[in-house]
Amino acid sequence: MYTISEIAKVVDISAHTLRYYEKEGIIDPIRNESGIRQFDEQHVQWLKFVKKLRETQMPVSQIKEYTRLFLEGEHTASARFRLIEDHQQYIRDQIDILLTTDEMLTKKVATYKELMQKSLS
């Protein structure tokens, strides 16, 4: 079991973010008899997944919706599938944009290098 500060380090997110996720219903920590939050390995895996979703710009509202659907049970699998599939397409679209932008910038860099070489001559 992890305390809030321990799991924050393991997952590399702030304790403040963990409290926010709890408030939003994205995570439901175990409470010991003293009311102190505790987290297990399932929480670690879930938070790593949530962190990746946030890193790839999934809005908290969609993560909340995914969480709600997950907690409702297996009959929501198709809705969860669509949500994740849509996000995957968003990521792929962003990758395409980044790749074409990188190509454009590579050409610009080459142009400037050539220009600077000529000015040194």
- How do residues 36-64 score in pLDDT, each as one tens digit? 999 999 999 999 999 999 999 999 999 99
> How many domains in the chain?
2
Element (H, E) at 36: none
pLDDT, position 91? 98
pLDDT, position 114? 93
Same domain as 2, residue 51: yes
pLDDT digits (tens, 9 = 90+) for 72-94: 999 999 999 999 999 999 999 99
* Structural domain span for residue 67: 59-121
Same domain as 45, residue 100: no
* pTM over cut 0.95: no
Same domain as 42, residue 12: yes
Judging by beta carbons within 10 Å of its beta carbon (0-12, 13-18, 19+), is residue 48 exposed, middle or buried? middle
Instruction: Give the domain CATH number at 21.
Output: 1.10.1660.10
Same domain as 77, residue 34: no
Q: Is the pLDDT of residue 121 over 80?
A: no
Contact 84, 66 (CB under 8 A): yes
